[in-house]
Amino acid sequence: MAQEDQELLARMANGDQTALDEFYQQYEGRVYRFIRSKLNDSFDAADVLNEVMFEVWRSAGRFEGRSAVSTWVLGIAHHKAIDRIRRRKPGENVELDPEIAEDDAPNPAEALSAAQNAKQVRHCVDQLSEAHRSVVHLAFFEDLPYGEIADIVGCPEGTVKTRMFHAKKALMKCLAGLKEMGLL
C-alpha cells in the first residue's frame, strides 16, 4: 500500500489526473474525518479538505518518502485546519495548545460504564480542545503510534503523550459527570 501510494504521488507529480482520482478516493474519507474532528464544522471541513488535496496535488513531486504518505497528508491537513482556526473570528477561536491539568479526575471504574455509551463518548470528545481531540482521533480512530502522531501535529513525542494524558483525564471527568447526572 505504501509503495502504491508513493507511485500515485509520482504520477500526480507528472500531472496524471487519474492518479488524483485514485488518491482522492483513497484518502478523502480519512482526511475529511480528521479535519472534521478538529474543526467541528462540516462546511469548514469540506473547504479545508479541498485545500489539503489541492496542496497534495501541487506538491506531490516534493514528497521525499521520509514518512508514510498518510502521515504526510494528515500533517498537511493538521496545518491547514490550524490555519483555518486562526482565521476564524476571535469569538469562535479554539484553544490551540492547551496543557491544562485536570485535577481530581475520577477513578477509571467510575467512568467505565459511561465510556461504553457511544453518544456519551462522542459528547465528551466534542468538549475537548482541538489539540486534545486531534490526538484522541489519531490514536483511537487511526490507531497510529505516538511517534507518527508527533510527526503529524508537529510536536515532540512527549507532548503527544501528555496531551493524551490530559485528554484522557478530561474524558474521564466528563463521562463520570454524565453518569452522576443520571444521563446514562
Partner 1 sequence: MAENGKRDEELDLLLPWYVNGSLSAEERTAVEAYLESNVQAREEVALLSAMRQNVKEQPLENSPGDLGLQRLKREIKRGDQQQAPTTGKVVAISSWWRPLAVAACLAVVVQAGVMISVSDRTGGDVGIAGVNGPVLQVTFAPTATEQEIREVLQSAGTTIADGPTALGIYGLRLLAPGNESANIEEALVKLKARGDVVTFAERN
**What is the contact surface with partner 1 in residues (CB under 8 A)?**
17, 20-21, 24-25, 28-29, 32-33, 36, 41-43, 46-47, 49-51, 53-55, 57-59, 62, 87, 107-109, 111-112, 115-118, 121-122, 125, 136-137, 139-141, 143-146, 161-162, 164-165, 168, 171-172
Question: Is 17 within 8 Å of 53 (Cβ atoms)?
Answer: no
What is the closest distance, in whole angstroms, from the C-beta atom of residue 79 to partner 1 in the complex?
A: 11
CA 179/CA 154 separation, integer angstroms: 36
Looking only at Cα atoms, what is the longest distance across the chain?
A: 59
Output the nine-digit C-alpha cell for 147: 511517534
Question: Is 162 within 8 Å of 83 (Cβ atoms)?
Answer: no
Question: Is 102 within 8 Å of 168 (Cβ atoms)?
Answer: no
Instruction: Rank residues 7 and 54 by Cβ distance to partner 1 and give the closer one.
Output: 54
What is the closest distance, in whole angstroms, from the C-beta atom of residue 158 to partner 1 in the complex?
A: 8
What is the closest distance, in whole angstroms, from the C-beta atom of residue 137 to partner 1 in the complex?
A: 7
What is the closest distance, in whole angstroms, from the C-beta atom of residue 67 to partner 1 in the complex?
A: 15
